[in-house]
Amino acid sequence: QFWVVESGGGLVQPGGSLRLSCTGSGFILDSYAIAWFRQAPGKEREGVSCISDRGDTSYHADSVKGRFTIFRDGSKNTVYLQMYSLNPEDTADYYCAARWHPDPNNCTIVEGQYDIWGQGTQVTVSS
Helix (H, G, I), strand (E, B) or coil at 107: coil
Measured over the CA atoms of residue 71, residue 118, residue 28 and residue 111, the dihedral's sign is: negative
Position 95 scores a pLDDT of 98
Q: What is the pLDDT of residues 47-77, one digit of tens each?
A: 999 999 888 899 999 999 999 999 999 999 9
Residue 17 CB partners (closer than 8 Å, separation 6+) = 82, 83, 84, 85, 86
Position 105 scores a pLDDT of 87
103 pLDDT more than 90: no
Q: What is the pLDDT of residues 11-53, one digit of tens each?
A: 999 999 999 999 998 888 989 999 999 999 999 999 999 999 8
Residue 30 CB partners (closer than 8 Å, separation 6+) = 53, 55, 72, 74, 77
Higher pLDDT, 116 or 55: 116
Position 36 scores a pLDDT of 98
